[in-house]
Amino acid sequence: MTEKRSPLPTLQGPRIRLRPHREDDLAAFFALYSDPEAMRYWSFPAWTDIAQARDRFAAALLSPGVDGTHAWAVAGADDALIGGLTLFSIDGAQRRAEIGYALQSAHWGRGYAQEAMRLAIEYAFDALRLRRIEADIDPRNQGSCRLVERIGFVREGLLRQRWLVAGEITDTALYGLLQEDWHRRAQQT
């Protein structure tokens, strides 16, 4: 019997929303992943040709798709795509997943990422019933480290030379957030 997956929901925050991708997001999607500043610590180099967007954009349109990846568009007040937030490597038996996120650099520094993360994490722990979320971050990526620490992720270790991107070998700071920690913090605030 094949498992029936729920469609990707729209999650509404005060200033931003997480919503499914739409066909007319392609230009903004490409703009995000071709922004060298936003891709500085990413797992692949900034795109230079819109053809490079094709496979990833097609998968985003089909999300949650066959592997269950939840790929949301982060949208601002006018509903245009300004970023992406993805729950991936979702392991239903272990009830854990990884989280990835990026905003176009023009939108940094306003708390949008924190708002987007809180919406996705709430959904992951409550609706998907996950119990652990991991973030794999280049330790030099201070903005990302600060973001997850602010939310309550714990830096659990350093994985040496884990990535090779555009000829550069880099480490991973592995962060983890447990459902029990998230709920305990929610009760304290």
Ligand X SMILES: CC(C)(COP(=O)(O)OP(=O)(O)OC[C@H]1O[C@@H](n2cnc3c(N)ncnc32)[C@H](O)[C@@H]1OP(=O)(O)O)[C@@H](O)C(=O)NCCC(=O)NCCS
Q: What are the contacts of 4-13 at 24+ separation with CB within 8 A? A: 5/64, 5/68, 6/64, 6/127, 7/64, 8/63, 8/64, 8/70, 8/71, 8/72, 9/123, 9/127, 11/72, 11/119, 11/120, 11/122, 11/123, 12/119, 13/115, 13/116, 13/118, 13/119
Site string for ligand X, 170-189 (x = CB under 6 A): --------------------
Decide: is 101 part of the binding site for ligand X (CB under 6 A). yes
Decide: is 142 part of the binding site for ligand X (CB under 6 A). yes
Binding residues for ligand X restricted to 144-173, rule: CB under 6 A: 144, 146-147, 150
Residue of 111, 126, 184, 185 that binds ligand X (CB under 6 A): 111
The Cβ-side half-sphere exposure at 70, using a 13 Å CA radius, reads 25
Residue 135 C-beta: closest distance to ligand X, Å: 6
Binding residues for ligand X restricted to 30-69, rule: CB under 6 A: 38, 41
Residue of 34, 52, 89, 114 that binds ligand X (CB under 6 A): 114
Residues interacting with ligand X, by CB under 6 A? Answer: 38, 41, 101-103, 108-114, 137, 141-144, 146-147, 150
